[in-house]
Amino acid sequence: MRKSNYDKSPATDVDGALWKGWAAVIEKLKEVSSAVGDTGRHIIAAEYYHGVYAGEVSACLKRLRPSLHIDMQTLFKAPSAVEAMTAPYMTADVLFGRRAFFTYADYLDEEKVLACRRQIERTKGVVLITGHGAAEFCPSPHTLLYMDIARWEIQRRFRRKEINGLGVANRNDPPSIHYKRGYFIDWIVCDTLKRERLPRVDYWIDTHRSEPKMIAGQTMREGLEKTARKPFRTVPFFDPAPWGGQWMKEVCGLDREAVNYGWCFDCVPEENSLCLRVCGELFEMSAGNLLLHQARQVLGGPVEARFGYDFPIRFDFLDTVEGGNLSLQVHPTNQYIRDTFGMYYTQDESYYLLDASEGATVYLGLKTGVAPEEMIRELNESHETGKPFAAAKYVNQWPARKHDHFLIPAGTVHCSGAGAMVLEISATPSLFTFKLWDWGRLGLDGLPRPINIEHGSHVIQWERQTGFVQQQLVNRITPLAEGDGWKEERTGLHENEFIETRRYWFTKKIPLQTAGSVNVLNLIEGDEIVIESPAQSFESFVVHYAETFIIPACAGEYTIRPGDSSRSKRCGVIKASVRY
């Protein structure tokens, strides 16, 4: 283990004003709303992302002492009507729903909306509209505010039973049900409106903590545009797991008193935060905003044409060092995920071993001669009776060593065993893991974790047995090129997967290029490296061991070299991009 220099608060510096705390925010908004114009009124619309503490924030905004305050919750259809409208997309499955495409207009009661608009027309002074759908109800206010929050914090609020879904009263539902509603319904609604209004927002407000921070919309947009043209990192977040380990505590500088950390999400823009540094303060928002505003610059034209506003590459950590096995699992094929859940691509992935304890293994692919009916029967029996499933009888167990790379195209049975520090490189549909067996243990909530044998039985590719796995999925590492002080290798992924990965070892500066696709990299060896632009189109960017970083497609050519303070003479990175 090494002393941590892992940066947990990366940010982009941007010029602009920042207002911190409700007193400063309200004072600025009073100044802005003092201009009432010919109509004699000034309309302020405060739009909320899902998960914002609506009651608390609205109460603070009411310090503006408006002539009229409209709480958007009063304009929604009844919760029972929203439940009925969304039920076909929630489905009866405990984890999985079906992708929906509602907008806020579907949630609002038309009669209440018309009556409220007539009330506004009769009002002089400040009109304050707060809550979900405010910018849908009033698309052209005099001042538009956006209350933002990242999904990692929303999930924490799910667990604490602090928030409801859009238009429903489900605060006490299990976190998995909340996540399902968010993933398949609510976040799509919010992102659709956010994308439309983002270019016009006057003030953006960070609501991750009780003390808000506000910047001008123009400052926020300038920050996104600057970020989209240089190397950057999203803000990592860490979570415990039933199988979690101890490696990240030291390497990433985490709380040593915590029981474990199993997950680190270091490049999942839909869920991570992105930080700007304004006036010396960190201003936090959803990293998804970057794609909503700068998709082509970040992804590249061909990748944007294929994935739209979705960031297609996910890097995360799975720490089982001094921990346990992950659940035995499989991911859906493209056809199954499309037909069953309305998603248009699946979670192909791979395990890159950042580190491994002596005797660590990865479960991957079926053993030669496995009979499908027998394996499914025994999985069901284990699930129903608690009898241990004989995983070693059916699934290959491969030795796992530092810098090994295991390829896992969808439909391949797999899991990391104990003692492994996995950098998981995958496509981004993040919900679709079909657990087949969880080693008879309970989740962190003390309840059994959901098992998905029925789904899994429909997607397991039974021909992926020992010979296939050995030939096509384990350490398919091929030398490609080398120069003065550097070497390039291809490490995968499998031909069925759209992600291409390359590994670079270097002791001197190495030239690279984005080649029209976003590049996602991780420093897999070495203390520190520096990313630079030969054309000086961005400032030098420093990366530390185990940090994931993103090079936008528009950056074009860039170089990587060992850092000036690096103790390691040889450094290594693994790079992922989209094949097209």
Average pLDDT value for residue range 461-466: 98
Q: What is the pLDDT of residues 107-154, one digit of tens each?
A: 999 999 999 999 999 999 999 999 999 999 999 999 999 999 999 999
- 205, 550, 561 from 509: Cα distances, Å: 41, 18, 4
**C-alpha span between 219 and 397 (Å, rounded):** 52
Q: 267 with 552: CB under 8 angstroms? A: no
Confidence band (pLDDT; 50, 70, 90) for 429?
confident
| Averaged pLDDT, 82-109 | 96
Average pLDDT for the chain: 96
CB atoms within 10 A of CB 59: 12
- The per-residue pLDDT for 448 is 86
- Residue 445: predicted pLDDT: 86
Q: How far apart are CA 166 and CA 82, in angstroms?
A: 8
CATH 3.40.50 region(s) of the chain? 12-227
Distance (Å, rounded) from C-alpha 165 to C-alpha 177? 10
Does the structural domain 12-227 have CATH classification 3.40.50? yes
Average pLDDT over residues 252-272: 95
- pLDDT 10s digits, 29-77: 999 999 877 788 999 999 999 999 999 999 999 999 999 999 999 999 9
Report whether pLDDT(78) > 90: yes
Q: Tokens in use for 1?
A: 């283990």
What are residue 122's phi and psi, to 5 degrees?
A: -90, 0
Tell me the mean pLDDT in the region 457-476: 97
Residue 337 half-sphere exposure toward CB, CA atoms < 13 A: 22
pLDDT for the residue numbered 381 = 96
- Tokens at residue 202, please? 């006057």
pTM: 0.96
Write the CA distances from 120 to 67, 104, 130, 136, 361, integer angstroms.
Answer: 10, 20, 14, 15, 66
- Residue 2: per-residue pLDDT: 59
| Res. 10 pLDDT band, cuts 50 70 90 | very high
**Could you give the CA distance from residue 392 to residue 331 in angstroms, rounded to a whole number?**
20
Would you state the structure tokens that stand for residue 527, as one six-digit string?
């203390």
* pLDDT interval class at 567 (50, 70, 90): low
- In this prediction, residue 568 carries a pLDDT of 63
In the three-class reduction of DSSP (H, G, I as helix; E, B as strand; rest coil), residue 448 is classed as strand
Of all residues in the chain, what percent carry a pLDDT higher than 90?
93
Q: Mention the CATH class of domain 478-578.
A: mainly beta
211, pLDDT greater than 80: yes
The predicted pLDDT at position 37 comes to 74
| Residue pair 97/170 in contact by the 8 Å Cβ criterion | no
Residue 144: count of CB within 10 angstroms of its CB: 23
Question: What digits encode the pLDDT tens for the residues 436-460?
Answer: 999 999 888 888 899 999 999 999 9
Which pLDDT belongs to residue 430?
74
- Within 10 Å of residue 473's Cβ, how many Cβ atoms? 25
DSSP output for 542-572: EEETT-EEEE-GGG-EEEEEE-TT---SSEE
- Answer whether residue 423 shows pLDDT above 90: yes
pLDDT in tens, 357-384: 999 999 999 999 999 999 999 999 999 9
- DSSP letter at 503 equals E
Q: Which amino acid does the sequence have at 528?
A: E
Segment 276-314, tens digit of pLDDT: 999 999 999 999 999 999 999 999 999 999 999 999 999
Residue 566 banded pLDDT, cuts 50, 70, 90: low
What single-letter DSSP state applies at residue 445? T
- What CATH class does 237-290+303-472 carry? mainly beta
Burial of 404 (0-12, 13-18, 19+ CB in 10 A): buried
Domain(s) of CATH 2.60.120.10: residues in the chain: 237-290+303-472, 478-578
**pLDDT of 94 above 90:** no
